[in-house]
Structure 1
Amino acid sequence: MESAQRGASAASTRRNGATVVRGARERLREAATRLFAAHGYSNVSIDQICAEAEVSKGAFYYHFDSKDAALYGIYQPLLELQMQRLTDILARPDPLPDKLRAVAEDVARICLERIDDLTVFMQSMHLLEPETRALVGEQRRRYHRLFAQMIENAQAERILRSDVPADLLVNQLFGPLHYSTIWYRSRGPWKPEVLARQMTDMWLDGVRAHPPVARTEGKT
């Protein structure tokens, strides 16, 4: 899907007649993010991305096979970072409740810190080519399965409520995070780490195992 990245040791290199300047990939990714956010994925051309990034069209095709690959390139680093952080936390010898908090707070913070990338991708994901969309879906399901397995372990130990399926508890965390692309702005008053902690607190308060609350019939 994407071409191999050039080595970081050279200031520039030649490939297929194109001079590729170090840093071009990141500039292209940032330019695509800005343009997709401002005009919509369908209304942006590769030429516009190159002009915004101040790189040649040859440099674009060195890093990305297509505009579809550029859109995937916005989200791929976020997916990879989330998966790496999840596996790192799961490998720790920490108590399960600590891992639950760490995973939830970490993924919330990452999403908020990368809110511009997440927003563009959530708005444009349905426009990906079917093959690329299937790849993203599989990557997200892999993360979901690992998270759900941790929740199932916590349910078995009566740390989390067991009257709700683990998959639904995972979605209960990611639903507000995905909705944050509507209202959260990176230049707004909330710091990502503070908001991530607060969102994690609210999620844990809702999914922890609690004694059943007695209900009184006929009263509101």
Structure 2
Amino acid sequence: MFSVGGTIRGDGLFVADTILAALADNPERLDRARNRFSSESPPSYRSQPSGTTTRSQSPNPPSEEQRRREKREWQLRKEHEASLPCEQFDAQRHEEERRIFIENANANGFGTVMPDENWLPDSDIINVAIKRVKECWVDQGIWNDKWKDMNPWKEDRPSGGWKHEEPLELESELETDSEAGDNAPPFSQKPEEIKPRRPKSDEELRLIAERRSIHNREREASRPFYQFVYQVSKERE
């Protein structure tokens, strides 16, 4: 259109005024200039060299099927967390705290029990509840002595998985031989000095079978079905 040689502080404003006056005196030239600007589309947007852009992104909203799938995944994750030993222990401990609170209320002549949000158990009630739940788990055979070592605070509280989720132990780990010589590493002896293991007695075989039976029973006891049967039987008592 025109080139302004000066700046706005120099003669540029005077030149622009002169050219605008010439366009006003020549309607055809003014129409051509207007048509040229109206027919040309604005230049395409270019991002900054850094790769950032100010144009807002509008991703497509998730579909109904995707929302249902995400909701189902979240529900399964919450159900899995609720099945962990630490969560189960806390739930049973809280139930035991309410049971103790009701016992104390009945003993003191109070017939009403306040809702959960209106009362907090004191340390004595909490400690008694923890002791009762642990004794119940020991009696049930689902308490794991390894939990305390796995707990970062070394508390007497579950920290880890259930027994039935642990790797299976080898048969040799369940057997204990009374003879120390049988457990000596073979590489410490010459081949001609290695003696064959003596046959185990009937008493030793009976003890091994008993330990294996107890181990398998405790391992299976922590499965949800057997825990449910045990809890129903205790409530029935």
TM-score by length of 1: 0.22
- Which structure's CA Rg is the greater one? 2
Higher relative contact order (CA 8 A, sep 6+): 1
Higher relative helix content = 1
TM-score by length of 2: 0.21
